[in-house]
Chains A and B, each alone.
Chain A
Amino acid sequence: MTTQWGIKYAVHIISTHFGDLAARVCECLLRRGPLSKHNIVRFAETPLKQVHVCLLLLIQQNIVQAYIVEDTGGMDDVVKQTTQYMVLFDNIIHRTRFPKFMTVVAQELDKGCTELFQSLLQHGRLTVEKMIQIQESSYGEESVRENLAKLVHAHFVERCPAVEPLLVPPSEEELAAKKRSRSAKVAAEPDIMERVIDAAAPMESKRFLIIRDDITIDSEMADDGSANVGEKRKRSFLASNSELGIKEEVLWRANYEEFLHRFKHNACVEDVRQRVDDSAAIALSAMLESSRRMESKVKSRTSVPVPINAIYEEVMKDEAGRSMTLDDLREYLEHLKCDRGANDSYSIDLKSILELAQNEEVESIVLKRYGEDSHRIFRLLSKADHLLETSKISKMVFVDQKETPNILYKLWKDKYLHMEKVTVVGSQQCEFLLWKVNKSALWKNILDDMYHASLNVSLRVVHEMEQGSELLSLPPEKREGPLLVKLERLRNIKRVLEESLRKLDDSMMLFHDF
């Protein structure tokens, strides 16, 4: 379940990229969850024809995923199939990260690949033929195919998911297992999102496999025994014709997950660089680089174990790492509390590094927003991770006994702290206040504030640019004197705001995606 400001920010992004109509459809899906086409028409109060066009666009741009559900609840035994449309919130936010994705591709691959990748971002999903068509004027067919192969090999590009898979209801056993492992509180929505994405995803064996169209072996590859039973089952459920009339064909798109893996690793490495030193950062970076290919989910807690020799090989690729001996490397890995497993392999608990970084972010906000004493109190409670009583807090942090309750109250009012009242009845009735940091609730609020802030900054950029539109449209020869100064100022404003947005987005990834 995404937060209120998350929804507003997402709607703003869609509205600037694709217009208000698409934004309205998205908002409707974001607020109400998956809906059928007719329900979208009803709730978004938009004519069917327009909804149809919007859905086509949003699917093309990887923002909406369609799926079929079977309804057997009727009086008769007829199974009714309906198509539902689900919006992918994360993919909307990822759109603001396209420049970051481009930078990664440009650093690793050549210009042809970067241009092809840009086209994929722009068009959402493309067939090989379409790519060839787009790049034809600058590159020949073979080069385009080669570029695509390079992008796919680097996992920057992947095969698109099925247009409209059938969502098989979870089996009795799966349901029972879920009941056992999860509390009833867990909302059903993330569950269905996961199931739909899983159902639509191409088989892992084909996700990064390019098959030349002229060697039509599409099905052979899938049935050659390398695909497991689950994958085969999934495949057989793929619908051949979608409600919107989109035909199933081999399409390619940017693989956002790969970039998030990289950003997550980068965030960990930079954190270690700051907390420990450069050499430890080199060791960690090498370890993560050699394990990245084997990682599956971005959110996994630990890295995949890699043999020390493989890590050392990676260290040697870095100029600064060449002075490191194998023993040094071992020492750094131990220092970083890496787990040593079988075959002399190492893995690391990335979650704990990221948690430290998250704590630091929130503490930094508290310091700036409420001052030093509040920061000290907040850190005490955040580290203690249990309830502490007002006067005890005051003593532990050396903040005046009278001032402490005021600070605590303020932090509590702004939802940074959780408070509990305890009444002790003795000769007199005494009331004590106990405080703690409830991280999961607070982190959610902080993330919501970040979405809110991002929306505000984006709106301000738009506003500043509108204000300066006349200046910007001046022909070059008129850009002089005071006008030039004003223009420079406008450019600075744009730069500062966009830089803020970019950095804020790093924090949002830290709290939401990693």
Chain B
Amino acid sequence: MSKRKRPDSAAPAHGLTEHEKTIYDLIKSKQDMGIFSQDIRRETKLLPNMVTKSLKSLLAKNLIKEVQNVQHKGRKHYMASDFEPSAEITGGSWYHEGALDKTFIDLVRKTCLSYISSLKIATVEMIYDAIKRSKLFHVECSQEQIAEILRTLELDNQIVEFRSTGCGEFASIPILRVCYKIAKKPGSGKEPKVSPMASIPCGVCPRIGYCSPDGIINPITCEYYNKFLDF
């Protein structure tokens, strides 16, 4: 998780030109949110080459730094060196250098799945505790983060959410607490239903809006059907 450094109140702003000082003050006033180069130009009303020159100098003096903004990659975003970018800029704990850390997310997802599968039924706390004890990850995951991961697994129909009834298979879990089970998998005898619509070409056709019996795109000459019926 990104932690904000205490900003140094005695800023080393001496020895700066007037323009550099204006720009530095502006950047610093934006704290951990930082600012875009265009916005600097707009707010200071300085000429573009002035801004570029001053930024270069401030960077060289290590007074400011360039940070990646996940929402606008490719745009130059500056922040005073005293600050660490906020979660809004970095994208939060699941982002690494401005990009979603897919490898790490996948690892946490797989780990959660394997715990739920071995525990049969589990709450967020149970999975969080198990992961913490295992010391599997170098970075520590908070319980909130595990909950986020579980939510995506549920959205992907990999696990199913229940509320404990406190009896039967839920006996070990306090009543009404949210808990998770592995969803039924294809091949386990009960395939999750694939919509009949999704099983035919028209159901997933990107051109359905343009297709009509007497149009240029029509069911008689349709290539998707030629493929579908190619046996």
Q: A459's contact among B100, B192, B198, B220, by CB below 8 Å, is which?
A: B220
Q: Is the CB of A391 within 8 A of B71?
A: yes
CA distance in complex: A456, B204 (Å): 13
Q: Is the CB of A504 within 8 A of B200?
A: yes
Closest to A506 in B: B196
Q: Is the CB of A376 within 8 A of B200?
A: no
Closest to B168 in A: A331
Residues of B within 8 A of A274 (CB): 184, 190, 192-193
Instruction: Report B60-100 residues with CB < 8 Å from chain A CB.
Output: 70-71, 73, 88, 91-92, 94, 99-100
Segment at the B interface, from A65-73, A289-297, A363-371: A363-371
Interface size for B (C-beta < 8 A) is 41
CB contact under 8 A between A449 and B208, given known A365-B203, A367-B198, A391-B71: yes
Q: Is the CB of B71 within 8 A of A364?
A: no
Q: In the complex, which range does the number of interface residues on chain A fall in?
A: 35 or more
CA distance in complex: A368, B224 (Å): 14
Q: Is the CB of A507 within 8 A of B195?
A: yes
Q: B229's contact among A362, A380, A398, A496, by CB below 8 Å, is which?
A: A496
Segment at the A interface, from B9-17, B18-26, B115-123, B148-156: B148-156
Instruction: Report B180-203 residues with CB < 8 Å from chain A CB.
Output: 184, 190, 192-200, 202-203
Chain A 422-458 near chain B by CB (<8 Å), digits 1 or 0? 0000001000000000000000001001101101110
Q: Is the CB of B70 within 8 A of A360?
A: no
Closest to A427 in B: B43
Q: B225's contact among A399, A460, A504, by CB below 8 Å, is which?
A: A460
Q: A398's contact among B88, B152, B190, by CB below 8 Å, is which?
A: B152
Q: Is the CB of B195 within 8 A of A459?
A: no
Q: Is the CB of A360 within 8 A of B193?
A: yes
CA distance in complex: A278, B145 (Å): 36
Q: Return B146 CB to nearest CB of chain A, in Å.
A: 13
CA distance in complex: A121, B91 (Å): 63
**Most-contacted residue by chain B among A367, A375, A395, A460 (CB, 10 A):** A460
Q: Is the CB of B200 within 8 A of A364?
A: no
Residues of A within 8 A of B70 (CB): 400-402
CA distance in complex: A430, B196 (Å): 43
Q: Is the CB of A402 within 8 A of B73?
A: yes
CA distance in complex: A459, B193 (Å): 26
A247 within 8 A of B: no
CA distance in complex: A396, B219 (Å): 40
Q: Is the CB of A452 within 8 A of B193?
A: no
Chain A 450-478 near chain B by CB (<8 Å), digits 1 or 0? 10110111011001100000000000000
CA distance in complex: A401, B70 (Å): 6
Q: A365's contact among B99, B198, B211, by CB below 8 Å, is which?
A: B198
Q: B202's contact among A399, A453, A493, by CB below 8 Å, is which?
A: A453
Q: Is the interface of A mostly helix, strand, loop or mixed?
A: helix
A361 within 8 A of B: yes
Instruction: Report A466-504 residues with CB < 8 Å from chain B CB.
Output: 489, 492-493, 496-497, 500, 503-504
Residues of A within 8 A of B100 (CB): 398-401
A397 within 8 A of B: yes
Q: Return A207 CB to nearest CB of chain B, in Å.
A: 33
Q: Is the CB of B148 within 8 A of A396?
A: yes
Q: Is the CB of B200 within 8 A of A500?
A: yes
Q: Is the CB of B71 within 8 A of A504?
A: no
A379 within 8 A of B: yes
Chain A 394-432 near chain B by CB (<8 Å), digits 1 or 0? 011111111000000000000000000000000010000
Q: Is the CB of B71 within 8 A of A449?
A: no
3 smallest beta-carbon distances between A and B, as pairs? A503-B196, A453-B202, A456-B219
Inter-chain pairs besides A364-B195, A453-B197, 9 sampled, C-beta below 8 Å: A361-B195, A368-B203, A396-B152, A397-B155, A402-B73, A446-B197, A449-B202, A456-B211, A500-B200
Instruction: Sample 29 A-B pairs with CB under 8 A, ordered by A number.
Output: A274-B190, A274-B192, A361-B193, A364-B194, A364-B195, A365-B203, A367-B198, A368-B195, A376-B155, A396-B148, A396-B151, A398-B94, A398-B100, A398-B152, A400-B99, A401-B71, A449-B197, A450-B197, A452-B202, A452-B208, A453-B197, A456-B213, A459-B219, A463-B220, A493-B229, A496-B229, A503-B199, A504-B196, A507-B195
